[in-house]
Chain A
């Protein structure tokens, strides 16, 4: 009579495991390892002027009672942002006495697409009160010498981005924009005739100037 003994299968399994190299064998055996790759895309904001406005002559009648811009002046800003929510500002300034600059935007409508902007004389610029007399909303020709208000229109266009998400609100003397990530252009055009009570013989001949600035933070 012969007795044949079989070693239990567990022995083989144990040997494999104790070797410390292989995972347990058998029908359900498997082994795996994982790499979790993570890349950080940094915040990005770029605001650039893509079109500088050209200067224009201003015409006035024989009565010197109104001033009209001969050729509309257009400047274009381009904003590129990858931030989910990005704030930025459009501000206007014009030169005033003492080498100062005074905020010059006013009269914005509800969505800030139609505003007004004060231009002041560059040679011997006026007191800042000439500007604030106009931006205050109740101008009197005798109180705003060498300062003239004109219409400013702003149109925006979406060049890239997941959706149209631009909002604009009036914020004291500037426009505050908020948009989602994307690329947006802003076309700013000054044209037409002067705002009521901002042009008169108090405005002497010479060059008048105003500056529009788009920035991430309020100036």
Chain B
């Protein structure tokens, strides 16, 4: 048996390299910039004093990343429903004597049996090359759909027309009081 005592010299070499990788996620910011959200209705004609709202949208995402949706709600005796009617007009409902869902449907289809519901036309505009169109989808229902078309910043402007949609204002059917509709511009991740 033999024992060998000795030392072994070892030499090493280490190389350190750092690669920085940032995974930037698509992001979006929507904010209301200016608006006129209150007004009055002339009881003899049904015309209103004018309402509008503008929303600023900034995003590094695309139409493949987000659905950009302008939705609306109106409160009925059966809960909230979409406040958009034909051609994207906006329905307003009495906040005390709530309209029925059937009155809402009647107003949306151009009928004249729609107590406590008044509809006004809506005009939408948006900064080029973005686009906005009224549509109805399985996911969002009746809504205005915005396409950013690879643009990163723009302004969506909504103007409520002053004259009521035909057959939706009646001094005998529509009670005095406050009428309300809520509009929300949302970016939904896909």
Contacts and interface: CB of A to CB of B under 8 A. Distances in A.
Given A39-B178, A40-B178, A41-B43, A80 B184 contact: no
Given A34-B182, A37-B160, A29 B92 contact: no
A27 B28 CA distance: 12
A4 B21 CA distance: 10
B25 A25 contact: yes
B172 A159 contact: yes
Contacts of A1: 14-15
A43 B42 CA distance: 10
A144 B166 CA distance: 57
B17 A3 contact: yes
Given A35-B182, A44-B44, A29 B176 contact: no
A182 B51 CA distance: 27
Contacts of A7: 20-22
Contacts of A12: 22-25
B131 interface: no
For this complex, into which size category does the number of interface residues on chain A fall?
35 or more
A187 B25 CA distance: 74
22 contacts: A1-B15, A5-B18, A6-B21, A7-B22, A12-B25, A22-B29, A29-B25, A30-B28, A30-B189, A33-B184, A35-B158, A35-B182, A35-B184, A37-B51, A38-B178, A39-B49, A39-B118, A40-B40, A40-B177, A41-B178, A162-B173, A182-B173
Interface of B: 14-32, 35, 37-44, 48-49, 51, 53, 55, 58-61, 66, 90, 92, 94-97, 115, 118, 158, 160, 170-189
